[in-house]
Every structure is written in C-alpha cells, then in structure tokens.
Amino acid sequence: MKGGVQALIFTGFIINLTPDSQNVPNIKLILVNKDNEVVRETMARPDSATVESNSPLPYRIELQLPV
C-alpha cells in the first residue's frame, strides 16, 4: 500500500547492448484478467530520454489498484 491505496510497483532496468546510445520510449504497464481483457493500464516516462551504450537505465512504474 502507498498512502492508503493499493498499488503494483514494478522496477527494473533497460539495458542498451548496442554500440550507440538509443532513444527510450515510454513504458506501458497493462493489467489483464484471466480472459486477457484489460483491467487497468498506465504509462510512465523513463528517467532519461536516452540510454548510453552498454549502460543500464533504471525504471519504476506504478499502477494504482481499484478498491
């Protein structure tokens, strides 16, 4: 729970394995039910618009759950 609201929080790294810096798109998180129907979705901007060669870029995306 965060501030009394339930949330799913995902963290990880985007890793650029190429020799050049790369643009990083927004990150989309979609929560689906057992029938693969979208229940909730959200989009987050990465901390940086680019990720350098052979470098990780951490991300965090949060989806508040309905009560």
Structure pTM?
A: 0.69
pLDDT at 58: 93
- Exposed e or buried b per residue across 8-35, where buried means at least 16 C-beta atoms within 10 angstroms of its C-beta: eeeeeebebeeeeeeebeebeeeeeeee
Query: What pLDDT tens digit does each residue of the chain (67 aa) get?
Result: 556 788 889 999 999 999 999 999 999 999 899 999 998 899 999 889 999 999 999 999 998 876 6
pLDDT at 24: 94
pLDDT at 65: 76
Q: How far apart are CA 28 and CA 30, in angstroms?
A: 7
Instruction: Tell the residue number behind the tokens 């991300």, with chain if given.
Output: 59
Instruction: Tell the residue number behind the tokens 């929560």, with chain if given.
Output: 31
pLDDT at 67: 65
